[in-house]
Structure 1
């Protein structure tokens, strides 16, 4: 399993992914799940992946190869005219890979399924964020749904629902995201550090800060310990139940 989270803010995009991949408790590995493409001044794209590792790696490899050989038959993510078309390209590539590997054809519940979050901006359009499904369809983040999660989503969602604010700074957004990730790590062994963090400033058309946050990161330790203590203090402050 995995956990990836993308937020769209007034200021731009903030995206974070874990790096744990497991095929059972005795076969745990670390793999990057965040990938970027950049043509400075023209476009920035960030892709996060969850699901079958062979599927996600194949999709990323195909997208990479197509950036090196532009042609109409195999369009490149660095050549499509909009973020919508970039999402469509990723979705079609994902569907194609799953279809080629699944024994009984492309199915969402296939062993080879995967889900992806694509965020970024193409010159001439606004920053956009998409959730791409294994069936090859996708939805876009908006006012009512300003963030997307993939993988092990349920444990980290409560803080997002309560704390998200489109006007918050990148710094506040990262704090909220780390609480979300810490809650998920504590509840599910299939999600783990280090975390990859990527920011993107709207209309900059260049990648922002990229940071890897390890288990020994002082700020993460402060967030993890402090959040636990504050939750316990809040619980203790509530009145006890009476029979």
Structure 2
């Protein structure tokens, strides 16, 4: 399992993903699940993946090959006129990869080769956009009603985002919000783990404005984790006392 989140703000995009993969408690590894491509001054595309590692790595490898294709070949990722078309192309690639793997392994229907992708980015002259791409190749886009997307182990980190997200918030507050969301998930599910990858993309910058890896010994993340835990205890004890006495 994994956990990836993307927030759409008025100022741009904020993305975070964990790096844990596992095939049981005795086979845990670290793999990046966040990848991006840039055309300076023209576009930035970022992808986060969740699901079967072989499937997601195959999709990313094929996307990498397409970005390195000779100039005489059609390169949809770096040349498509809209983010919608980029999402459609990645959806086709994801569906085809899953189908090929299932056929090669003699597996029919949905199964262990499934994967889900978040695509976020901006193309020159257009708004920043974010999509969730499903194993079937179809996708949804963020909206005013759904301004953020999650994939993987989503339930533990969702409540704090629902309560604290504000489209007008600063990048710094958004980063803090995602760290709290991930800390809640890390505490509740061992299949999500550090280090975490974070990327901030400012509107019309077409580059990773801020990018970092958050490790186990990161002092700020440790402070966030400790302070959030203490704040929850304080809030709990400040609630009105419940009484078993008859009213």
TM range (shorter): over 0.9
- 1:110 deviates by 1.7
Aligned counterparts of 2:148 and 2:54: Cα–Cα separation in 1:
26
Aligned counterparts of 2:85 and 2:70: Cα–Cα separation in 1:
15
Contact 1:98 1:106 in 2 (8 A): no
Residue 199 of structure 1 corresponds to which residue in structure 2? 200
Residues matched between the structures, number: 242
Residue 232 of structure 1 corresponds to which residue in structure 2? 233
SS of 1:54's equivalent in the other structure is helix
Aligned counterparts of 1:212 and 1:236: Cα–Cα separation in 2:
35
Residue 54 of structure 2 corresponds to which residue in structure 1? 54
How do 1:1-243 residues align onto structure 2 when only pairs under 5 Å count? 1-69=1-69, 75-103=75-103, 107=109, 109-243=110-244
Aligned counterparts of 2:108 and 2:89: Cα–Cα separation in 1:
17
Unaligned runs of 5+ in 2: none
Aligned counterparts of 1:71 and 1:84: Cα–Cα separation in 2:
23
Structure 1 stretches of 4+ with a deviation exceeding 6 A read none
- 1:207 deviates by 2.0
- 1:105 deviates by 6.7
Aligned counterparts of 2:44 and 2:81: Cα–Cα separation in 1:
12
Contact 1:197 1:211 in 2 (8 A): yes
- For structure 1, which segment, 155-164 or 67-76, has the greater mean C-alpha deviation from structure 2 after superposition? 67-76
Aligned counterparts of 1:45 and 1:226: Cα–Cα separation in 2:
34
Distance 1:113 1:10, change over 3 A: same
Aligned counterparts of 1:74 and 1:99: Cα–Cα separation in 2:
23
Question: Which of structures 1 and 2 has the bigger CA Rg?
Answer: 2
User: C-alpha offsets along residues 87-107 of structure 1, whole Å, 9 cap, x if unaligned?
Assistant: 111111100100100146774
Aligned counterparts of 1:105 and 1:116: Cα–Cα separation in 2:
22
Aligned counterparts of 1:129 and 1:40: Cα–Cα separation in 2:
20
Relative to the length of structure 1, the TM-score reads 0.96
Distance 1:119 1:106, change over 3 A: farther
- 1:81 deviates by 1.0
Aligned counterparts of 2:205 and 2:133: Cα–Cα separation in 1:
25
Relative to the length of structure 2, the TM-score reads 0.95
Aligned counterparts of 1:197 and 1:87: Cα–Cα separation in 2:
21
Q: What is the CA RMSD across the aligned residues, in angstroms?
A: 1.4
User: C-alpha offsets along residues 193-229 of structure 1, whole Å, 9 cap, x if unaligned?
Assistant: 0000001000112221110001111110110000000
Unaligned runs of 5+ in 1: none
Aligned counterparts of 1:82 and 1:157: Cα–Cα separation in 2:
29
Contact 1:102 1:111 in 2 (8 A): no
